[in-house]
Structures are given as structure tokens and as C-alpha cells.
């Protein structure tokens, strides 16, 4: 049954990413032009992340910060939305989660899924080898654009508690759970907390 659910999940990922990219293409172009006109640097931000089985891949997002932001100020961490490294357009993109839309290309290529654990950077919160055997379960499936942790605890708890939600998702995975998470994500985005 799990294999069948994983097959259906991939079909949903393919259809969702293709339809999403087509339907959202005018918005994607508008965002790209806005980024280009208002700040120096590339439209997209690519960053190494840990994917399925701990394999490294490059996640794609719209750039919301100044070029080289990882080496300035708080590095990887954004302590508040008033962080001076965030561009004017970036503030809007981050507040609406629109910066995440290019990850549809990651889903289309098979590196990510619409739903799954969020992919961490290779060295935070841990190096792959430092995750416990239990915590490594979160890498048994492709990472997602959204997930159980995002619709329940998001960033309100430390990483170790988010990992518990990721493992809970892996252990209870089925297509209906994915569909529920997608609808909860849409609700969270449209009713900003």
C-alpha cells in the first residue's frame, strides 16, 4: 500500500508542479522583474540542502536578501523581518511565502515533493552524520515545499521538536495526509497569522 501511495504522491507532484508553473507563470515573471529592477544580483537564490537519504541538492527560491547575505550580519539566521539584509521586494515575498514558488522546479525535477519534511542546510541544525537513527527517519522521503511541521509548529519550536513532527509524518504517510497538509498550507497562507 505504501508503494502505491508513493506512486500517487509522485503523480500529484508532477501534475501539481506543471499546473502550478503554468498557472503561476505571469506572477513568477512579475516577481522576477520586480527583483531585477529593485536590487542588484540574480533573481533566484540557490542553496545546498539535505534531501532524501541525506543527499545534497540545490533548492531554488526567489532572492529576498542582498547578495552574499549568508556572510553578513547573522549569517544563516534572520532574527526579524526588519533585518537590513532583506530587500524591499524580499519583505513582501517572505511575508506571503511567494519566495518559495520556484521550488516547484525542484518538485518537477524529482528532488523535492509538494509535501514532506523541510530540507535543512547540510550543517544546520546538524551534519547528516550527527542526526540520531530516529531523527534520520526524516530523510526517508523527499523533502517538501510544505509539511506537517509547517502546518502545526512551523518555527515556533526548536529544530528537535520540528524533527519529531517530520518523523511523525514519515511514519503516518499516505496520500490523504498529503492532501490535508496542502489544504492546511493554503489556509495558513491566505489567513496570515
Q: Which residue has the cell 493554503?
A: 186
CB 115 within 8 A of CB 146: yes
Q: What is the reported pLDDT for 189?
A: 80
Q: pLDDT tens across 151-172, in order?
A: 999 777 899 999 999 999 999 9
pLDDT band of residue 127 (cuts 50, 70, 90) is very high
Q: pLDDT tens across 12-70, in order?
A: 999 999 999 999 999 999 999 999 999 999 999 999 999 999 999 999 999 999 988 77
Model pTM score: 0.91
Half-sphere exposure of 23 (CA within 13 A, CB side): 8
Is the pLDDT at 101 greater than 60, yes or no? yes
Helix (H) or strand (E) holding 61: strand 56-62
CA 7/CA 82 separation, integer angstroms: 43
Is the pLDDT at 72 greater than 80, yes or no? no
More reliable by pLDDT, 78 or 97 = 97
Q: What is the reported pLDDT for 191?
A: 76
Is the pLDDT at 178 greater than 80, yes or no? yes
Amino acid at each position: 500500500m505504501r508503494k502505491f501511495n508513493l506512486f500517487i504522491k509522485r503523480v500529484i507532484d508532477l501534475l501539481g508542479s506543471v499546473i502550478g508553473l503554468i498557472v503561476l507563470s505571469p506572477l513568477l515573471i512579475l516577481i522576477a522583474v520586480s527583483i531585477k529592477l529593485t536590487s542588484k544580483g540574480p533573481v533566484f537564490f540557490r542553496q545546498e540542502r539535505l534531501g532524501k537519504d541525506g543527499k545534497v541538492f540545490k533548492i531554488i527560491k526567489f532572492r529576498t536578501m542582498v547578495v552574499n547575505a549568508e556572510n553578513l550580519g547573522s549569517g544563516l539566521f534572520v532574527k526579524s523581518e526588519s533585518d537590513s539584509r532583506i530587500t524591499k521586494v524580499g519583505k513582501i515575498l517572505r511575508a506571503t511565502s511567494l519566495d518559495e514558488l520556484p521550488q516547484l522546479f525542484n518538485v518537477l525535477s524529482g528532488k523535492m515533493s509538494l509535501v514532506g519534511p523541510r530540507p535543512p542546510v547540510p550543517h544546520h541544525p546538524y551534519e547528516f552524520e550527527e542526526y540520531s537513527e530516529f531523527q534520520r527517519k526524516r530523510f526517508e522521503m523527499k523533502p517538501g515545499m510544505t509539511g506537517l511541521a509547517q502546518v502545526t509548529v512551523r518555527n515556533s519550536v526548536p529544530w528537535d521538536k520540528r524533527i519529531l513532527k517530520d518523523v511523525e509524518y514519515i511514519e503516518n504517510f499516505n496520500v490523504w495526509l498529503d492532501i490535508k497538509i496542502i489544504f492546511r498550507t493554503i489556509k495558513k497562507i491566505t489567513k496570515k497569522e
